[in-house]
């Protein structure tokens, strides 16, 4: 129970990596706020299930991470946090000249600007406590590029920059800020890309996964949400107290290529 007494907020955590991180933080003893933009009975039921499963205090708070006011209000509403995981993210795939402006704006708002707003709202409480962990979920695409994902890649490179600046401003105050850079993890955001890739490459699902999606992941395997959660728990540990302003790749070797 190394995180007993710590209060965590994980944005965009009613599915995928965010949920995996919330689960591991709760298993390590933190109280956890899970979040998304929806306010469905299933969201609250998910928090209750996680609480029962882990024995931790877990609750769901609705806030739309595309809205600066709601990003800041989320942190205010829960009375601040010791651990902030900026995870909410969306994807859209199109050539730059055909990329819809509203998709660009939404991706920059949710994948990048939300982290600025939640961090700005959370830091004063962390400074007062003399302890804090900000963990930004970037991507292998925060360090490398691929075609047709301009907004996502711009946002993920941006969040790596925000991570470094946050770390420098908070250095020496008991607060660290790092970015986890996952390679492909089989979550809904990736699942949604498979049918298009099958059509584009005229391949079946398994071939597209192996030969297209995992072609840049030398391990040939998806990373898992449990591995993202374990990395986040490590970054919250005393062993990681001097790790700040850096990126941790969990990508099966993608960025070693």
Residues between 8 and 47 with contacts to ligand NAD, criterion CB under 6 A: 11-18, 36-37
Q: Is 184 a catalytic residue?
A: no
Q: Is 138 exposed, middle or buried (0-12, 13-18, 19+ CB in 10 A)?
A: buried
**Residues 257 and 216: beta-carbon distance below 8 Å:** yes
In sign, the C-alpha dihedral spanning 180, 184, 190, 196 is: positive
Binding mask 154-183 for ligand NAD (x = CB under 6 A): ----------------------------x-
Q: By CB under 6 A, is residue 65 in contact with ligand NAD?
A: yes
Pairing of strands 175-182, 132-137: parallel
Q: By CB under 6 A, is residue 132 in contact with ligand NAD?
A: no
Q: What is the DSSP letter of 99?
A: -
The residue range among 63-71, 94-102, 126-134, 160-168 that interacts with ligand NAD, by the rule CB under 6 A, is: 63-71
- Residues that bind ligand NAD (rule: CB under 6 A) add up to a total of 28
Q: What is the spatial distance between Cα 21 and Cα 34, in angstroms, rounded to a whole number?
A: 10
Q: Which of 60, 127, 152, 184 is catalytic?
A: 152
The residue range among 1-9, 73-81, 83-91, 233-241 that interacts with ligand NAD, by the rule CB under 6 A, is: 83-91
Tell me the β-bridge partners of 85.
10, 135
Q: What is the spatial distance between Cα 157 and Cα 142, in angstroms, rounded to a whole number?
A: 4
The residue range among 64-72, 96-104, 124-132, 166-174 that interacts with ligand NAD, by the rule CB under 6 A, is: 64-72
Measure Cα distances from 23 to 29, 48, 138, 238 in Å: 10, 12, 19, 20
Residues between 189 and 228 with contacts to ligand NAD, criterion CB under 6 A: 189-190
Applying CB under 6 A, the residues found at the interface with ligand NAD are 11-18, 36-37, 64-66, 87-90, 110-111, 137, 139, 182, 184-185, 187-190
Catalytic residues, by residue number, are 152
């Amino acid at each position: 129970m190394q995180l007993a007494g710590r209060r965590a907020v994980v944005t965009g955590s009613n599915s995928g990596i965010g949920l995996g991180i919330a689960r591991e933080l709760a298993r390590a003893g933190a109280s956890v706020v899970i979040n998304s933009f929806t306010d469905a009975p299933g969201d609250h039921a998910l928090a209750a299930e996680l609480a029962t499963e882990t024995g931790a205090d877990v609750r769901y708070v609705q806030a739309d991470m595309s809205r600066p006011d709601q990003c800041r209000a989320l942190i205010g509403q829960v009375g601040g946090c010791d651990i902030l995981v900026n995870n909410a993210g969306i994807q859209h795939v199109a050539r730059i000249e055909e990329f819809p402006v509203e998709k660009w704006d939404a991706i920059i708002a949710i994948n990048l600007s939300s982290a600025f707003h939640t961090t700005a709202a959370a830091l004063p409480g962390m400074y007062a406590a003399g302890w804090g962990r900000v963990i930004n979920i970037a991507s292998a695409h925060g360090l490398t590029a691929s075609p047709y994902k301009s907004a996502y890649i711009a946002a993920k490179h941006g969040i790596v920059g925000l991570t470094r600046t946050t770390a420098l401003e908070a250095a020496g105050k008991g607060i660290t800020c790092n970015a986890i850079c996952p390679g492909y993890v089989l979550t809904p955001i990736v699942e949604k890309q498979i049918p298009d890739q099958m059509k584009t490459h005229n391949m079946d699902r398994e071939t597209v996964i192996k030969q297209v999606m995992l072609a840049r992941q030398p391990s040939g395997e998806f990373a898992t949400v449990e591995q993202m959660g374990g990395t986040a728990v490590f970054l919250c540990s005393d062993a990681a107290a001097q790790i700040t302003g850096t990126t941790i790749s969990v990508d099966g070797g993608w960025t070693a290529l």
